[in-house]
Structure 1
Amino acid sequence: MNTNITLSTCFIAVDDHDKALEFYRDILGLEVRQDVGFEGMRWVTVGSPSQPDVNIVLEPPAANPNASPADKQAMAELLAKGMLRGVLFATDDVDATFEHIRAAGGEVLQEPIDQPYGVRDCAFRDPAGNLLRFNQPKR
């Protein structure tokens, strides 16, 4: 196979777009790329200015049109418990990133530590309960 496959879009479940934007835009510094109404819902994408080709869609659990009402309720409950998969962000200074997010009121799950698999990382929960890890290669 001789194709070049790259990541273009990923999704983070959120229960409140405004709270999510306060976190991802105002605290993490991601830029808002789209914030529009779409089929009775809100389509919001953010991304790092240093990665213009990678978008993150902030999506409510009910956004899947193929999900049954029971599935949508189950997703909302898992999100509320912080049980959905996490997201990993890279940073060039995990300690400074940690201090910035903590000072802004981020919910700390793990202070920066050196991991045996070659990174220094820390962890937070976003306003919806998603696990967010921030890491950098060990120096």
Structure 2
Amino acid sequence: MLTRLNISGIYVLDQDQALDFYVGKLGLEVDTDADLGFMRWLTIRVPADPDRKILLERPGAPSMSEDTAAEVRALMTKGAAGGHLFFACEDAYKTHAELKAKGVEVTEEPEDRGYGIDFGLRDPFGNHVRIAQLKEA
């Protein structure tokens, strides 16, 4: 049976630009960066959570044909095919201020939503990112 989720993936149009955003601005770290010949396998992770990784995948082979990949890239460019990432933090207001100082475009300001304080942003490729300071159970 399944024991845990190891890697989740999102599509990005440019893996180097994705590294600049996720590592350079959000503070994640590279887990694996390997040239497999047919694709670049690029995973990142939250430094405090090394067991869960995010694959930053450029749409294309081997998972889809070039025609399909072109359609996915076109939808991403229009903001219609982004994925979702949900991160936790200790202080939403502080994290929000730090990210704005780094030039991250915040789409929703911090707000208390009952389960905690969270805010939203988008990566350069249209993926939705939420960051929350969760209330303790």
- With normalisation by structure 1, the TM-score equals 0.87
CA deviations over 1:78-103 (Å, ceiling 9, x no partner): 22122223111111111111111111
In structure 2, list runs of 5 or more residues that go unmatched.
Answer: none
CA deviations over 1:3-27 (Å, ceiling 9, x no partner): 6622210112111111111111111
Cα distance in 2 between the residues matched to 1:56 and 1:120: 24
Following TM superposition, the consecutive aligned residue runs of length 4 or more in structure 1 with deviations greater than 6 angstroms are none
- With normalisation by structure 2, the TM-score equals 0.88
In structure 1, list runs of 5 or more residues that go unmatched.
Answer: none
Match of 2:71 in 1: 74
Cα distance in 2 between the residues matched to 1:16 and 1:112: 29
Cα distance in 1 between the residues matched to 2:126 and 2:83: 10
Cα RMSD over matched residues?
Answer: 1.8
Match of 1:91 in 2: 89
- Name the SS for the 2:68 alignment partner: helix
CA deviations over 1:60-83 (Å, ceiling 9, x no partner): 1124x2423332122112221222
Does the Cα contact within 8 Å between 2:59 and 2:69 map onto a contact in 1?
yes
Cα distance in 1 between the residues matched to 2:89 and 2:29: 16
